[in-house]
């Protein structure tokens, strides 16, 4: 079976690129070809080029299934245009990574809503990251929906350092990810635990966050910039906690990656996060924007070494048992096979 995977270049920034990189590195079972729909610094040129090359690529490589990686807004429109160019005899999947597709849909005009529903109805399959997202998409389309959660490579063992003084955030910096809540949390923590340092790794609203740190004299927060995968491993091994108080999510790769290293998370109960983070068992969850609850939970966490170690062990075990890359690819192979059985 020949698969064509369409999405950002695997070396690009973001969770979707990480998923594609995992396919390139470890996937086995079928022949996969890749078409970059955009690349850092070449978004427009790559997008236009993919429109003109996708049909030829499908014919040249005798593609059976086109696997699109899709988010909201521009990502959806680009993939919708590309999907319209796929021959009818070739199966088409939208793999939905969107963290705010519900908001995107609700804020669209009636004409755009109709276009979204029509596009989704034209597919052979829709893959989502959680039960919550499956329920949402069921209100938009009659296309069969499959839940396949994200997955990660898992280190052979967890080297968690429960005495670390570094709390990290991985991913885009901005309001959606709760970055400004993280700053306020850090400010409240400083008088009690001045040794604890918060490091926000990623791109996004860097200048705005820098200015706020300066204006409010927040002493225990630094910006680490965007980190490459090679450096991420050493950062994770030296971290005490991963903080991601998001307002909207799919199933963040940063949570899975940090937990695979035995790092507990303090995060929000949105999107697919409750499927992996269990409050009071392998990490901590709060309602989005509830800084006081975050403060209470993190203080208890910082005061209790036994609790930190317990969360760490359970976090590592959760990823081992339910989010391994091997089980992930088995699910994909099963879906590809089932698609070709349907006439």
Other Cβ atoms closer than 10 A to 184: 17
More confident residue, 67 or 74: 67
pLDDT at 40: 62
Residue 149 near residue 127, CB atoms below 8 Å: no
Q: Are 55 and 87 in contact (CB under 8 A)?
A: yes
Unique residue bearing structure tokens 């970055």:
179
Lowest mean pLDDT among 8-12, 201-205, 234-238: 8-12
The H or E element containing residue 6 is strand 2-8
Cα radius of gyration (the chain): 21
Percent of the chain with pLDDT over 70: 97
CA 45 to chain centre: 25
Q: 318-334: per-residue pLDDT in tens?
A: 999 999 999 899 999 99
User: pLDDT class for 230, splitting at 50, 70, 90?
Assistant: confident
What domains are defined for the chain? Answer: 2-151+324-341 (3.40.50.2000), 166-322 (3.40.50.2000)
Q: Where are the alpha helices (DSSP H) in the chain?
A: 15-26, 43-60, 74-83, 101-106, 110-121, 131-138, 179-189, 206-215, 229-237, 253-260, 291-303, 305-322, 325-341
Of 191, 214, 171, 181, the closest CA to residue 294 belongs to 181
How many of the other CB atoms lie within 10 Å of CB of 205?
17
| Percent of the chain at pLDDT exceeding 90 | 80
Q: What is the side-by-side order of every strand in the sheet holding 197-201?
A: 221-225, 197-201, 166-170, 241-244, 265-268, 284-286
Instruction: Among 104-118, 205-219, 226-240, 258-272, name the one with the lowest average pLDDT.
Output: 226-240
Stated as kind and residue range, the H or E segment containing 201 is strand 197-201
- Position 274 scores a pLDDT of 94
Cβ contact 288:281 at 8 Å:
no
Predicted confidence (pLDDT) at residue 181 exceeds the cutoff of 60: yes
pTM of the model: 0.84
Vertex 226: Cα angle to 329 and 211 (nearest 5):
140
DSSP 8-state code for residue 324: B
State CA 300 to chain mean position distance: 28
pLDDT of 229 > 90? The answer is no
DSSP 105-170: HHTS-HHHHHHHHHHHHT-SEEEESSHHHHHHHHTT--S-EEE----B---SS----TT--EEEEE
Q: What is the pLDDT of residues 1-26, one digit of tens each?
A: 999 999 988 888 788 998 999 999 99
- Whether the pLDDT of residue 338 is over 80: the answer is yes
In three-state secondary structure terms, 84 is coil
Tell me the pLDDT tens digit for each residue of 207-228. Answer: 999 999 999 999 999 999 988 8
Distance CA 182, CA 221 (A): 9
pLDDT tops 80 at residue 273: yes
> What is the per-residue pLDDT for 48?
74
Count of beta carbons in the 10 Å neighbourhood of residue 154? 19
């Amino acid at each position: 079976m020949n698969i064509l995977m369409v999405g950002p270049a695997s070396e690009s920034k973001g969770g979707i690129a990480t998923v594609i990189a995992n396919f390139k590195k470890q996937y086995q079972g079928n022949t996969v070809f890749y078409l970059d729909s955009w690349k850092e610094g070449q978004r427009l040129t790559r997008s236009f080029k993919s429109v003109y090359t996708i049909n030829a690529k499908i014919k040249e490589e005798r593609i059976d299934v086109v696997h699109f990686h899709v988010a909201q807004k521009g990502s959806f429109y680009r993939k919708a245009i590309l999907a319209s160019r796929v021959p009818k005899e070739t199966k088409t999947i939208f793999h939905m990574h969107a963290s705010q597709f519900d908001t995107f849909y609700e804020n669209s005009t009636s004409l755009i809503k109709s276009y979204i529903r029509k596009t989704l109805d034209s597919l052979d399959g829709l893959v989502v990251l959680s039960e919550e997202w499956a329920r949402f998409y069921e209100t938009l389309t009659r296309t069969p929906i499959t839940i396949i959660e994200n997955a990660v490579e898992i280190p052979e063992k967890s080297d968690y350092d429960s005495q670390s003084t570094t709390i990290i955030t991985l991913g885009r910096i901005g309001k959606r990810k709760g970055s400004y809540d993280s700053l306020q949390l850090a400010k409240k923590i400083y008088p009690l635990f001045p040794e604890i340092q918060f490091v926000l790794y990623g791109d996004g609203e860097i200048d705005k966050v820098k200015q706020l740190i300066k204006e409010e004299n927040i002493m225990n927060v630094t910006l680490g910039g965007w980190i490459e995968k090679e450096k991420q491993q050493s950062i994770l091994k030296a971290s005490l906690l991963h903080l991601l108080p998001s307002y909207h999510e799919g199933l963040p790769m940063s949570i899975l990656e940090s937990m695979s290293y035995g790092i507990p998370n303090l995060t929000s109960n949105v999107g697919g996060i409750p499927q992996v983070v269990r409050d009071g068992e392998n990490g901590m969850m709060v309602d989005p924007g509830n800084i006081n609850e975050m403060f209470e939970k993190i203080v208890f966490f910082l005061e209790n070494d036994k609790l930190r170690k317990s969360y760490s062990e359970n976090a590592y075990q959760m990823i081992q048992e339910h989010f391994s890359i091997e089980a992930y690819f088995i699910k994909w192979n099963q879906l590809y096979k089932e698609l070709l059985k349907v006439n």
